[in-house]
Homo-oligomer: A and B are copies of this chain.
Amino acid sequence: MSVTGTTTRSASERSTQAERRARSRSALLESAARGLSRYGYGNLVLEDVAREAGYTRGALYYQFKDKEDLALAVIEWVNENWTREVGAPAAQQPDPVAELLVLARGHAVFCRRDIARVVMALRLEFAGQDHPVGRETDRIWETGVKRCVKLINAGRKDGSIPPGPPARAVALGLFGALEGAVIALAGHAPHDELLAARVVEGALGIDNDRADVAPATLEHRR
């Protein structure tokens, strides 16, 4: 009852089991994210994933049920990071257009890390199939599109976005263009940010008066 610590070590001496497990899991997740981003799901070899993380497949199958479970964990992990680093900051913008532009720039910066193509790559790979991984990526994609639809409708209501095709079509084109542009511009910082914003403005049908005024470049952790 009155036990202050379950370990004999003073405080954070070295590796307890939980820490050890967490470290291994993180390393495996990061390696798997890089692998999924580069090779996709089918071409991803679990032995390579484990080796790049400094382990063998044994560690992988201890932490994750199977390949599918690993991929789903990676998707969740990447999506959490995206929400924290891109989605949340954008939500604080005052008007719809500003939010969409910050979203575009933030996504470009986020995708400078090689882990970022994960969702796009998996969504393409499983498009049309009925696979759990595909369903999850579709769900994330749909969340983004729905958010975008709401912003477009709001912007059209207040006059900052002109009328045009159905909001959903615009949102689909906007998101697709954003991902495509950012992937094509991998390794071409800092122009990725501006072009991401420009492309979004184009999809919305608004003039490029706001994209070219460079705001403070978004920072990303690490």
CA distance A204 to B195 in the complex (A): 9
6 closest Cβ pairs, A-B complex: A202-B202, A180-B180, A176-B184, A173-B195, A177-B177, A177-B181
Interface stretch (choices A72-80, A150-158, A163-171)? A163-171
Since A164-B194, A173-B184 are in contact, a sample of 7 more A-B pairs with Cβ atoms closer than 8 Å, ordered by chain A residue number, is A39-B125, A43-B125, A169-B191, A170-B191, A175-B184, A180-B183, A201-B202
| Chain B residues with CB under 8 A of A207 | 207-208
Residue A127 interfacial (CB < 8 Å)? yes
Q: Is there an interface contact between B184 and A199, defined as CB atoms closer than 8 Å?
A: no
CA distance A100 to B125 in the complex (A): 29
Chain A, interface residues (CB within 8 Å), range: 35 or more
Q: Is there an interface contact between B169 and A185, defined as CB atoms closer than 8 Å?
A: yes
Residue A172 interfacial (CB < 8 Å)? yes
Known contacts: A38-B128, A199-B199. The answer to whether A176 contacts B182 by CB under 8 A is: yes
- B172, B183, B199: which contacts A202 (Cβ < 8 A)? B199
Pairs across A and B, CB under 8 Å, 26 listed = A38-B128, A39-B125, A40-B40, A42-B42, A42-B43, A121-B124, A164-B212, A169-B185, A169-B188, A169-B192, A170-B195, A173-B192, A173-B196, A173-B199, A175-B184, A176-B180, A177-B181, A177-B195, A180-B181, A195-B203, A198-B203, A199-B202, A202-B202, A202-B203, A202-B211, A205-B212
- Most chain B Cβ neighbours within 10 Å, of A42, A117, A173: A173
Residue A179 interfacial (CB < 8 Å)? yes
Q: How far is the CB of A130 from chain B (nearest CB, A)?
A: 13
CA distance A191 to B172 in the complex (A): 10
